[in-house]
Structure 1
Amino acid sequence: MNSNQATVSNQATVYVVDDEIQIRNAIGSLCEETGHHVRLFASTDEFIAESLANGPSCLVLDVRFPGTSPTGLELQRKLAESGVQIPIVFISGHVDVRVSVEAMKRGAVEFLPKPFREQEILDAIRHGIERDRRRLERESAEREARQRVQTLTAREREIMLLMAQGLVAKQIAAKLGVSEVTVKVHRARMMRKLELRSPIEVVRLIDSMGLEAERFGAGHTQI
C-alpha cells in the first residue's frame, strides 16, 4: 500500500475490507449515512494497492480472506512496519480469542464478532476516527513547532534546552559563561519566536519533538 497520501480532505474516510459483499456494502452504506467518505475492498491485496486519502480515517478489516491474500493480522503488521498509522476495527465471523488478543495488543480500536449491531460498528468507527484526528492534530502541531525552532539562533537553542532541564537564568549563565542579562535577552527572544509563555511550555515542546530536539542544542556558540 502506498503510504503517501493522495488527496487532501477534512472529511473522514472509512476503508472497509471484507470479502463478503453484503457486509462490505452494508457497512459502507452506514458510514455514508453518517457523512463519511467510503472506500470498499474485497481483499487485503486490493487495499494494499490503494493510496490513502489525507485526513482522518479508519480501517474496518475482516480477519480471514480466501486465496493468497494476506490475513487481517498480516495487513495490520505490514501497515505498522510501513509506518502507516491508521486505526483498525477488526470484524470476524470466527471467534478466535488468540487472534483478537493479538489484534488488540497491536493497537486495534475494536474486535467485533459477526454478526454485530449497527451501533456497535458505528461507535467503533467513530472512536477510530477520533483517535486518528487527534494524531493528525498532534503531528501538525509538532511540524509547526519544528519550523519555529528552526528560526532560533544556536544560542537560543542552547538556552531552550537548558530551560527544559529546569535551569534558571543564573544557572544557565554560569553554564554558558555569559552574563545573566545576556541569557535573559536571548531567552525572551526565544520565547517570543516559539510563541511560548512559560518554562513548562518549553518542556512540553521539547517532549513533543522527541530526541530530535537534542540535535538543536549541539555545540556551544560564543556571543
Structure 2
Amino acid sequence: MAQEARGDLAILEEKVGHVFSDKDLLIRALTHVSASASRAQSYERLEFLGDRVLGVVVAHMLVDAYADDSEGMMSRRLASLVRKETCAEVAREWDAGPFIRLGDGEAAAGGRNKDAILGDVCEAIIGAVYLDGGHEAAARIVRTAFGRCMATPGRRLQDAKTTLQEWAQGRRLAAPSYRLGSRSGPDHAPQFVVLVDVDGFASAEGTGTSKRVAEQAAAEAFLSREGINTHKGGE
C-alpha cells in the first residue's frame, strides 16, 4: 500500500513559488514509481522534462552572471548547479520530503530524505511548473532557488569523480577504478555499494540508489578521507 503525501499542498506551492492550476501535475511530480500503478503515473517523465528546463535556465543565468568566464569554467559551474545533490538541496529548502508519495518499503527505507529521490522530485516539480505555467513560470522558480545556490561561497565546481581523477592524474597515478561491492534491495529501490581504488591507497566505499550515485559517494569518501581540497575553482 502506498504512503500518501502528507500536508496541505498549498504550503508546498508557496515555498516553490507557483500555484498550480492543475494540481494533478504537482501530485504526479511528487509520486515515486513505488507508489504508482505504472511508471507513466510516477514523476519520471516530469523529471526528464524538468532536467532539460533546469539546464537551459541555469545556463542562461551563468551567461548573465559570469561575463568573463570561459566556456570550460561555465560548464563546471553548470555541472555543479544541476547535479543531483544540488537539486536535493533545493527540494529540502522547499521542504518537499513530507509531500512525496512512496511505497511502504521505500518510505520505511527513509526515501523522503534520500538525495536521489529529492533531486528527482525537484526536477519533476520544475517540469510540472513548466507544463502548468510555461517557460517563464519555470524559469522564475529556478532563478529563485538555484540563484541562492549559485551565490554560495565555496561551492564545488565539479563532481567528486572528476576531482578525484584530476587529483590522480596530477600525481601521475592511474585513473581511479570503480568496482561493485554489492547490490541489495528490491528492483524499485535498489542499494549499490561501490568501491573506488587508487594506486597506493586503501579503497574507499560509497553507497547509493544507482551505480552512478554510489560511485560519486565513493569518490567523495576518498577525497574526504585523504583531506583533498574539493572546492576547485580554477581552470
TM range (shorter): under 0.3
TM-score (norm 2): 0.24
Structure 1 or 2: more helix by fraction: 2
Question: Higher relative contact order by CA 8 Å / sep ≥ 6: 1 or 2?
Answer: 2
Larger gyration radius, structure 1 or structure 2: 1
